Structure 1
Amino acid sequence: MGITVDDLWNLYVGPVEVAKVNTTVQATPVPSADLIPPPPHYYGSLYKGHESSYESELYKTNVNWSFPRTFWWGVASAAYQVEGAAKDEGRGPTIWDVLTHRVTGFTVANQTGDIADNQYYLYKQDIARIAAIGTPAYSFSIAWSRIFPYGRGPVNEQALAHYEDLIDTCIEYGVEPIVTLYHWDLPLYLQNTYGGWLSEEIVDDFVEYARVVFRRFGSKVSKWATLNEPSVFCNTYPLPAGYFKATGIPAKQQPFYCGQSVLLAHARTYRLGKQLMPNSTIFFKNNGGYKIPLTNSTADSLATQRAWDFGEGLWANPTFLGGDYPASVKNYTSTFLRPLTAAERGMLDGSSDIFAHDAYTSQFTSAPDVGIAACLANTSHPLFPTCANTTYQYPASLGGWDIGPAADPGSPWLHKATDWVPRFLHYVQDTWKPVGGIAVTEFGFGEPFEQLKTVLGDIRSDYGRTMYYHDYMEAILQAMSEGVDVVGTLAWSIVDNLEWAQGYTVKFGMQYVNLTTQERSFKASYFEYVRAFQVYQRK
Structure 2
Amino acid sequence: MLKLFLGITLLALTVFAADNFSRDDFPSDFVFGASTSAYQVEGAADQDGRKPSIWDTFAHAGNMHGANGDVASDVYHKYKEDVQLMAAMGLEAYRFSISWSRVIPDGKGPVNPKGLEYYNNFINELTSHGIEPHVTLHHNDLPQALEDDYGGWISQNIVKDFTEYADLCFRTFGDRVKYWTTVNEINVFALGGYDRGILPPQRCSSPFGVNCSRGNSSTEPYMATHHILLAHGSAARLYRKKYQDRQHGFIGINIFSYWFVPLTNTVEDVTATERANDFYVGWILNPLVFGDYPDIIKKNAGSRIPAFTKAESNLVKGSYDFLGVNCYNALYVKENPRTLQMEVRDVNADMAIELKSIQNDTSAFEFPVTPWALQKVLEYLKQKYDNPPVFIHENGQRTRRNSSLVDWPRVKYLHGYIGGLLDALRNGSNVRGYFVWSFVDAFELLDGYESSYGLYYIGLDDPDLKRKPKLSAYWYSNFLNRRSLTSVGVIELLKNSFILPPVQQHQSLL
Q: TM-score range by the shorter chain?
A: 0.7 to 0.9
What's the CA shift for 1:524? 1.3
1:114 positional shift? 0.5
Contact 1:366/1:388 (CA < 8 Å) preserved in 2? yes
Match of 2:92 in 1: 136
User: Is the CA contact (8 Å cut-off) linking 1:404 and 1:417 kept in structure 2?
Assistant: no
Q: What is the match of residue 519 of structure 1? A: 466
Deviations 1:321-349 (A, max 9, x none): x1111111122444134311111111111
2:492 counterpart residue number: none
CA distance in 1, matches of 2:203, 2:479: 47
Instruction: Report the aligned-residue RMSD.
Output: 2.5
2:284 equivalent in structure 1: 315
Q: 1:258 aligns with which of 224, 235, 253?
A: 224
**Are 2:413 and 1:468 equivalent residues in the alignment?**
yes
Partner in structure 1 of residue 55 of structure 2: 96
* Alignment partner, residue 74 of structure 2: 118
Alignment partner of 2:325 out of 357, 376, 381: 357
Distance of aligned partners of 1:123 and 1:337 in 2 relative to their CA distance in 1, 3 Å threshold: same
CA distance 1:231–1:310, shift in 2 (3 Å):
same
Give the secondary structure class of the aligned counterpart of 2:119: helix
Residue number among 316, 335, 341 corresponding to 1:367 in the alignment:
335
Calculate the TM-score normalised by the size of structure 1: 0.80
Aligned counterpart in structure 2 of residue 305 of structure 1, from 258, 274, 284:
274
Structure (1 or 2) with the greater helix fraction:
2
- Find the aligned partners of 1:406 and 1:352 in 2 and give their Cα distance: 38
Contact 2:261 2:333 in 1 (8 A): yes
Is 2:218–2:304's contact at 8 Å kept on the other side of the alignment?
no
Q: Is the 8 A contact 1:284 1:356 kept in 2?
A: yes
Counterpart of 1:484 (choices 429, 453, 459) is 429
Cα distance 1:209–1:488, how it changes in 2: closer, same or farther (>3 A)? Answer: same
1:40/1:166 CA distance change after superposition, 3 Å: farther
2:314 to 340, 346, 354: 346
Distance 1:41 1:503, change over 3 A: farther
2:476 alignment partner, one of 519, 522, 529: 529
- Aligned partner of 1:442 in structure 2 is 394
Instruction: Map Cα deviations across residues 414-464 of structure 1 (whole Å, 9 max, x no partner).
Output: 4332233322221121111244x22211001112x342x4xxxxx221011
Identify the match of residue 289 of structure 1 among 258, 266, 284: 258
Moved more, 463-472 or 374-383: 374-383
Quote the Cα distance in structure 1 between the aligned partners of 2:112 and 2:22: 52
1:150-176: CA deviation from partner (whole Å, max 9, x where unpaired): 001111111111100000000111111
Asked whether 1:505 is paired with 2:450, we answer: yes
What does residue range 26-105 of structure 1 map to in structure 2 within 5 Å? 42-43=11-12, 53=17, 60-61=20-21, 66-101=25-60, 103-104=61-62
Is the 1:91–1:149 Cα contact (8 Å) retained in structure 2? yes
Which whole-Å CA distance do the structure 1 matches of 2:235 and 2:10 have between them? 46
How many residue pairs were aligned?
Answer: 459
Superposition pairs of residues 174-193 of structure 1, within 5 angstroms:
174-193=130-149
The aligned amino acid for 1:280 is G
CA distance in 2, matches of 1:429, 1:280: 23
C-alpha separation between the residues in 1 aligned to 2:109 and 2:301? 33
Post-superposition offset of 1:41: 6.5
Aligned partners of 1:384, 1:115: CA distance in 2, in Å?
A: 38
Residue 211 of structure 1 corresponds to 167
Q: Counterpart amino acid of 1:272?
A: L
Question: Which residue of 1 is the match for residue 494 of structure 2?
Answer: none
Shift of 1:355: 2.5
2:497 matched to which residue of 1?
A: none
Residue 405 of structure 1 and its aligned partner are, at CA, apart by 5.0
Q: Matched residues in 1 for 2:17 and 2:272: separation?
A: 41
Question: 1:532: Cα distance to partner?
Answer: 3.7
Structure 1: distance between partners of 2:342 and 2:330:
28
Q: Which residue of 1 aligns with 2:505?
A: none
- What is the CA–CA distance in structure 1 between the aligned matches of 2:158 and 2:360, rounded to whole Å? 40
2-side partners of 1:245 and 1:312: how far apart? Answer: 26
- 1:487 maps to a residue whose letter is R
CA distance in 2, matches of 1:217, 1:326: 36
**In the TM superposition, what is the alpha-carbon distance from 1:263 to its structure 2 partner?**
0.5
Q: Does 1:378 align with 2:342?
A: yes
Question: Does structure 1 conserve the Cα–Cα contact (< 8 Å) formed by 2:394 and 2:437?
Answer: yes
Matched with 2:352 is 387
For 2:132 and 2:10, the matched residues in 1 are separated by 31
Contact map agreement 1:324 1:340 (CA 8 A) in 2? yes
> Are 1:195 and 2:163 an aligned pair?
no
Give the residue type in structure 2 aligned to 1:528: W
User: How far apart are 1:190 and its partner, in Å?
Assistant: 0.5
Partner of 1:399: none
Cα distance, 1:82 vs structure 2: 0.3
In the alignment, residue 70 of structure 1 is paired with which amino acid?
D
* Contact preservation (8 Å) 2:262, 2:333: yes
TM-score (norm 2): 0.85
Q: What is the percent sequence identity of the aligned residues?
A: 32
Paired with 1:177 and 1:343, the residues of 2 have a C-alpha distance of 33
Q: What is the correspondence of 1:269-288 to structure 2 with a 5 Å cutoff? A: 269-275=235-241, 276-278=243-245, 279-288=248-257
Rounded to whole Å, the distance in 1 between the matches of 2:374 and 2:59 is 34
- Summarize deviations over 1:132-158 as a string: whole Å, max 9, x none: 111111111000001111001111111
Structure 1 residues 527, 250: CA separation in 2 closer, same or farther (over 3 Å shift)?
A: same
State the match for 1:495 in structure 2: 440
| Contact 1:470–1:532 under 8 Å retained in 2 | no
Residue 259 of structure 1 aligns to which amino acid in structure 2?
A: T
- Structure 1: which 5+ runs fail to align? 1-38, 47-51, 394-401, 454-458
Q: Is residue 432 of structure 1 aligned with residue 385 of structure 2?
A: yes
Give the 3 Å change call, closer, same or farther, for CA 446–62 of structure 1 in structure 2.
Answer: closer
CA pair 415-198 structure 1, distance change in 2 beyond 3 A:
farther
**Aligned-pair CA distance for 1:68:** 0.3
Q: Is the 8 A contact 1:404 1:416 kept in 2?
A: no
- Counterpart of 1:335 in structure 2 is 303
Aligned to 2:487: none
Q: CA deviation at 1:535?
A: 4.3
